[in-house]
C-alpha cells in the first residue's frame, strides 16, 4: 500500500522481530520512504500515536486468540477498539481481513453490539462482484489461504464517536 499511496504514511506493527526485519529490508531495498515499523506489543499502541493522527487501522490475518479466555487479546475486542479510538480520526476506518470465521463473527458481533458503523462485510471476499478498494494487495498468509481455497472474511467499520 505504501508503494501505491506515496502521499500517505504507513506503519507496520508487530512484536515479532523477523517480520519487522523482513519489512524493513524491503522498504530499504525498494527505497520506500513512506513506510516504517514499530516493534511493540499491541497492548501499548495508544502510547505511540496522538489524537486524530491515524486515518485507518488494517488488521490483517491476526492471531485469532481462539480460546474464550483470550477474548481481550483479540485485536478487535472492545478493549482494542477503545485503544484505537484514542488516535483514530473521527471518520477513520478499521479493516479486518482474516481466514478465521470465529474471529470474523466475534468482530461483527462486537461492532454491532457497540453500535459502530459497518461499511462493508463479507464472508468470502474474493467471490464479491464489487470488491472494496485495495483488496488486490495480499499478505503472505492471505496468498496461502487462497491457494488452499479458504474463504477470506472482510469487515470494515467506523467507530462511533464515543466508546
Could you give the 3-state DSSP secondary structure of residue 57? strand
* Cα-to-chain-centroid distance, residue 26: 20
DSSP H or E stretch at residue 12: strand 10-14
Residue 99 annotated as catalytic: no
In angstroms, rounded to a whole number, what is the distance separating the alpha carbons of residues 128 and 130?
Answer: 5
Helix residue ranges per DSSP H, 60-127: 78-85, 101-114
Q: Which of 63, 102, 124, 134 is catalytic?
A: 63
* Cα-to-chain-centroid distance, residue 53: 16
Catalytic residues: 63
Amino acid at each position: 500500500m505504501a508503494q501505491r499511496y506515496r502521499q500517505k504514511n504507513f506503519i507496520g506493527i508487530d512484536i515479532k522481530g523477523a517480520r519487522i526485519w523482513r519489512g524493513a529490508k524491503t522498504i530499504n531495498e525498494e527505497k520506500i520512504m513512506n513506510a516504517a515499523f514499530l516493534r511493540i506489543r499491541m497492548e501499548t499502541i495508544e502510547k505511540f500515536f496522538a489524537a486524530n493522527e491515524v486515518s485507518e487501522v488494517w488488521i490483517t490475518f491476526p492471531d485469532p486468540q481462539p480460546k474464550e479466555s483470550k477474548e481481550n487479546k483479540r485485536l478487535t475486542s472492545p478493549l482494542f477498539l477503545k485503544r484505537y479510538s484514542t488516535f483514530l480520526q473521527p471518520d477513520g476506518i478499521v479493516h479486518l481481513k482474516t481466514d478465521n470465521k470465529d474471529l470474523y463473527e466475534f468482530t461483527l458481533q462486537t461492532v454491532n453490539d457497540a453500535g459502530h458503523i459497518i461499511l462493508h462485510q463479507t464472508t468470502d471476499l474474493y467471490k464479491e462482484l464489487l470488491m472494496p478498494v485495495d483488496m488486490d494487495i495480499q499478505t503472505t498468509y492471505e496468498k496461502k489461504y487462497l491457494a488452499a481455497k479458504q474463504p477470506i472474511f472482510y469487515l470494515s467499520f467506523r467507530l462511533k464517536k464515543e466508546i
